[in-house]
Every structure is written in structure tokens, then in C-alpha cells.
Structure 1
Amino acid sequence: MTGSRKSRPTTLRIAAALASAGALGVVLAGCTPDEPVSDVKGTTPPVISDVPLPPGSVENQDNVPTGQQAKAEIKNEDGDRVGEATFVARGAGGPVTVTVKVAGGDIPAGFHGMHIHTNGQCAPGPDGEAFSAAGGHLQVGDANAHPSSGDLISMNILKDGTGETVTVTDAVTLQQIIGKSIIIHEKPDNFGNVPNPSPNTLKTGDAGARLACGVIELGA
């Protein structure tokens, strides 16, 4: 009798545990009926929906994946290639990393203003000036002050004709600069930081003539 009393609770506990495990198995099977069984403990099969983005990319509010880039081939007035600009989205709605490299061109040594301009046209305008069809410095949204939304840091060209700058800007998003242009100017941009600046100084930064231009194209 004593041995019989000890075996009954043990038997009941085993039966209850098996029933609980069976119920859990039914619930899990009901949640994931079509998923393959993983042979690695503690793992779950991946779930993929729609078309996956490139590795490391995240879709942002501009419908431009983080890490997506645009490029501009920069040419002088004669149409000769003097450099390249790369624009990379760093997050939802910006900022944008702008890398500009110049090599083998005829841009003189020294500092030269760089800006993103309103139009994607690297051609003379009605005034006949080089690249004036590109319009003025880009302003986005309600921006109307100087520095403009499209203003970048000046580039220092070395004596051997090469130069490189990296600018990070949150004044524009990648989507806002697609189809625009980037221009390298004759002189550095003073960003209007001079005594009693004229309206033209505030507008252009006194960067002088336009020496080189490139149209910004997504995924180029």
C-alpha cells in the first residue's frame, strides 16, 4: 500500500507535464504552420516580406534607402572631366555625406567655394556666363537666408591640381538634390561674413566665376 501511494502522485505529475507540452505544441503549430523546422537550438526561421533592400540599407521617409548614393561627374567649361562628387544618405531625411575629389584638371591652387545649385543644367545661361543655367544656390522648403541650403565647405586645391573634401550636411536630403547640380567656383565662399555685406555678397558669398559643374544623378 505504501509503494502504491507514492507512485500515484508521480504518475499524475508526469501525465500533467506531457499534457502541458502537448498543448504548447498545438499552439505553436497553429501560429506557424508553414515555417520550416530549424535544426539549431534557440533559432527561428527568417521572415522575408516584399523585395529586400541592399545589405545595410533602411527605407527612410524620402523613399531613399539609407546608404543609397548619387554621383555627379564634374567637368570644366570645355567639357573635360576634372573630378567627381558622391552623395550618400546617412539616415531618414538626411543628413547627407558629400565627398568631392578633383584631379588632373585646370582648377588653380587655393580655396574654391562649392555649392549645390537649383538646376541640373551645366550650360551657359542667357547671359552667356559659364554654367549660369544652373541657377542660384539651392534653397529648400522655406529657407531663404545665407548660407543657403546648398552651400558646402570650400575645397582646397593643391599645387598639383588635386583636392578632396568631405562635408556632412543636414540642410538637404538626398531626394532634394537629385537632378540639381554641384559647382566649383573661382574663389572661396565668405558666407556673407564681411562687414556690411551687399545683397549680392549675401546671395553668392562672393565666390566668383563658375569653373566646373556636374549634374547630380541618383545611383549613377
Structure 2
Amino acid sequence: MRRSVLAAAAVPAALLLGGCGDGGGDVVVVESTAAAEAGAASQAVLRDAEGAEVGTVQFSEVSAGTEVVAEVEGLDPGFYGLHVHGTGLCEPDSSAPGDPGTTGDFLSTGGHLGGDAADHPDHTGDLPSVYVTQDGLGFLTTVTDRFRVEDLVADEDGSAVMLHSGPDNFANVPERYAPAGPDRTTLRTGDAGARQACGVVE
């Protein structure tokens, strides 16, 4: 992976703001970033079904929750759904947990983190989509308070990050298109398409 300009975002906010004054005023830190904190951190390396690396996703503790930094490359332009799934097992052409008759790429990761406790987009592992530019590069930085870093690695079967083949609609289907509301597939997945790349959180 090429190093991105996101490295600049890891500079503590106090350092960035300190260079803007004339030396006579106090510096106010609005929010420190992951690099400025001594909290827990984890990472997932995203690989496609052929095993090629397409990106990384880093998780770091910040005061507001968990900072998620995703970087991908070599993809077609457009939006890609990004979710945390409940089982840390990224196997191509695998069976879905509890449903051995259903097979496909990375079905071994099971459903979204948080299971069936909520519908999309309120699963614990639902995240904003990643936008990939015409150069094939995508960058996303966001903060969620739905899980902590330790939640991703503390349970016995771990967790995984999934990059989907299409945009996530977050189950936002207006009544003029679906008077009865979004169907079960949309509520479960956000219609983000196939599981394109997967990485175990370590």
C-alpha cells in the first residue's frame, strides 16, 4: 500500500493549532486524534477473493469512541459499503455460519457486528461507505461510538472488516418507491452488493 496524505491527519491537533498563533494566546484542543492517544489499536488488511491486498483499516481509541481509518487502492471508481462483521474468519468460497448450504466469498464472517439486535443502518458494525476516486484510491476517516477496539478482538471468534462491491443505501428507501418500507434484504445489508474484500481485525 502506498502511504497516504492521511498521515498528516495523525498529527496531534495541539501541534497543528500551535503553529497558527502569534505565541501570545492559549491553544485549545478540540479533539485529539488516534496518534495522540495511548489507547488500544487494531488493524485489518483487506484482501480480495484471490488473496490480493487492496487496503487496510485501522481502529484506534479516541475520546469520542473509536477512530476508523480506511485506505484502499486498485479499485474501480465509486462507492463501496464498509462494515464490521461478527466473525474473524475471511475465507473465499465459504459457508455461512449456521447455513452450510449457502456458500460464497467471505460468508464465513457471518453477519454484521451486533447480529440481529437491530436493522441496517443500526447494526453495531455499520460504517460510512468508502469513495474511490478515478485514480483507484479511496480514503475514509470516521469516528463511531458503537464499539470500542477491545470489542473487536475480545470475543472468541474475533471480527472482520468487509468491503462490499457497491454503495450502501443504509436502508434509506423512500415510501414512494416502497410503500411498505425496505424489505428484509435491505434491512440486513443496505443492498451493498457482494463481499469484495475482507480482513480479520488483529
TM more than 0.5: yes
Correspondence list, 1:1-220, <5 A: 66-91=38-63, 95-103=65-73, 105=74, 107-123=75-91, 124-126=93-95, 127-139=102-114, 143-147=117-121, 148-178=123-153, 179-195=158-174, 196-217=181-202
Q: How far does residue 156 in structure 1 lie from its aligned partner after superposition?
A: 0.5
The answer to whether the 8 Å contact 2:120/2:186 transfers is no
Is the deviation greater in 82-91 or in 112-121? 82-91
The answer to whether the 8 Å contact 1:113/1:207 transfers is yes
Q: Distance in 2 between matches of 1:209 and 1:132?
A: 10
Greater Rg over alpha carbons, structure: 1
The answer to whether the 8 Å contact 1:138/1:149 transfers is yes
- Structure 1 pair 161/215, CA: closer, same or farther in 2 (3 Å)? same
Q: Distance in 2 between matches of 1:116 and 1:204?
A: 12
The answer to whether the 8 Å contact 1:73/1:83 transfers is yes
The answer to whether the 8 Å contact 2:86/2:113 transfers is yes
Q: Distance in 2 between matches of 1:185 and 1:118?
A: 15
Q: How far does residue 188 in structure 1 lie from its aligned partner after superposition?
A: 0.9
How many residues were matched structurally?
Answer: 150
Q: How far does residue 152 in structure 1 lie from its aligned partner after superposition?
A: 0.5
Structure with the larger RCO, 1 or 2 (CA within 8 Å, 6+ apart): 2
Task: Name stretches of at least 5 consecutive residues in structure 1 with no aligned partner.
Answer: 1-54, 58-65
Q: How far does residue 181 in structure 1 lie from its aligned partner after superposition?
A: 0.3
Find the residue that maps to 1:128 and give its secondary structure.
strand
TM-score (norm 2): 0.69
- Structure 1 pair 128/90, CA: closer, same or farther in 2 (3 Å)? same
Find the residue that maps to 2:135 and give its secondary structure.
coil
Q: How far does residue 158 in structure 1 lie from its aligned partner after superposition?
A: 1.1
TM-score (norm 1): 0.64
Q: Distance in 1 between matches of 2:41 and 2:127?
A: 17
| Offset from partner CA, 1:147-166 (integer Å, 9 cap, x none) | 11101100011122111001
Q: Distance in 1 between matches of 2:191 and 2:44?
A: 24
| Offset from partner CA, 1:134-176 (integer Å, 9 cap, x none) | 1111107x94232111011000111221110011000111111
- Structure 1 pair 56/212, CA: closer, same or farther in 2 (3 Å)? closer
Q: How far does residue 56 in structure 1 lie from its aligned partner after superposition?
A: 6.7
What letter is aligned with 2:54? V
Q: Distance in 1 between matches of 2:53 and 2:94?
A: 21
Q: CA RMSD in A?
A: 1.9
Q: How far does residue 208 in structure 1 lie from its aligned partner after superposition?
A: 0.6
